[in-house]
Structure 1
């Protein structure tokens, strides 16, 4: 039986986006594509409602039979699950019974243990950023909140530090630098996680990956005199006259160990193209999509860094990457070797083993 795992995050701004509807739309599309009439199992994990739905489509009698079972093992997420922090809506700590990305990993591991090689697709519909899918918009503040309930009086909330390599128990969102190594996944759990996926499996991260500094750095590079979308030599020096301080901070960070920090004034910088390529490659090495590709050893379709996703207004009613990033797409394809998803949604293809050879100064 071929399996699909669909995850629906929470629109934490409560602006009307229904990620569960998008997950259901994906299920219907995959079901429609099943012209070979292979038995299918769709598992949908809905963070907002706390529901896990299992829908099986079988053809054992020659006729299509669809069965649905569901349970609500997790606490639903409501507006009351959030607090205002500096003008932003953040998930409150101390909500252990709300669905987490680690529950998604556990579901994948269960498939790997019981039905290895059957998971054809993992799709996560949610808001997103460079660091991964935002299931609830929680914080990794390296502090966990423990609630004590004394015999009399109000509950007491105590904060304790979290070990450097451990996930924050209050955090529900994906963390690529923590999720695929101990203690989150030990060797046996990682083996089961990888074993779940079929040989041609794919994972989709449908949300955004739009660090503004990366987008603006790419835009400044693309506007520089002498830049070309194809055939530009590594040692060509570009004069970036439209950078801002945040762009230069980004380059300083990802060129550390190769170049010294750029000197002031930093409203314009000169930099060789090979160093721009290296910085942008290293940024992609640091993103969740790359971590998932290596962790699961599968192809991952995700928005390339510096681009954002938007909602379909027709057709399949899923999501796609905004089409206005043509120059970014061209850079990724011609200079970093990326391809894009076969469905034409403009998501970049992250494969296991992405490497960034270190250039000479």
Structure 2
């Protein structure tokens, strides 16, 4: 009998957000005329652990340096690469830089993953996903993950787009639905054209339309993501139908700033708030402002007429990361900053309140 040879299994190290911070672009895919998917992995093989619907924050070398948070659109069940799917926003520095300059082989600094907008689509609970435009990305990650792990138990996926040619992942979703009978799809387009045949719903999502797409939507847990006006319309529509809003979750995308953050509320220990007023100086602009009790550095910056980048305003996304030049703050963050960055003197200004006169590099 031939001697059996046992080969050692190569173990791929896990991506450590406290240590790993560089991704390498491996592939770029054109999804629609103004949407691209960017596929990344580590410099060395790494396995990523993230929940479907979470995002990563990218440092992009534009206008000096800007940070943008993009949802991971990939399946969490495929851990060796991450993907983001980005729509080109007119005048948007982050999305335009990615579309114009991000190519295979290029490196980018990142932090994360993070975020609380997630669910298990393989569970027993009936779900309804409502998305519009680029808001499809967290829903796509959840759906891909569920289909990779097992058939989704009972999932209705409704997506709104400007036109048939703007439906992101249209072909892939159709394939997933064909392979998973419990996944039901419905699309609606605001407009149609002679160049694209369309037999689906037309017009903005309405209560009557939703009742046809998902007749038992009142019995489902609903996850919603898209432009602010779309989500406002969905909330009004559901309230009109007497939907139990405790079963409604949304993720807010600020498309003008091209950043993303969850708006779900999570309880945390209340920080001690000083009753003193401190002076906040912004070293780059020379502005100085008084910061009253309980006021964050971000609020002080806005009082000074400054508009620093920010998104979640709860210390989750890392968009407002800045250098604390001097002084002390109380920072109650939600995971949007690494310990080594804190050790380097960086803070998240959205969740930092001064404990003394401070100077910030803004």
Name the TM tier (shorter chain): under 0.3
| TM-score (norm. length: structure 1) | 0.24
Structure with greater strand percent: 2
| TM-score (norm. length: structure 2) | 0.24
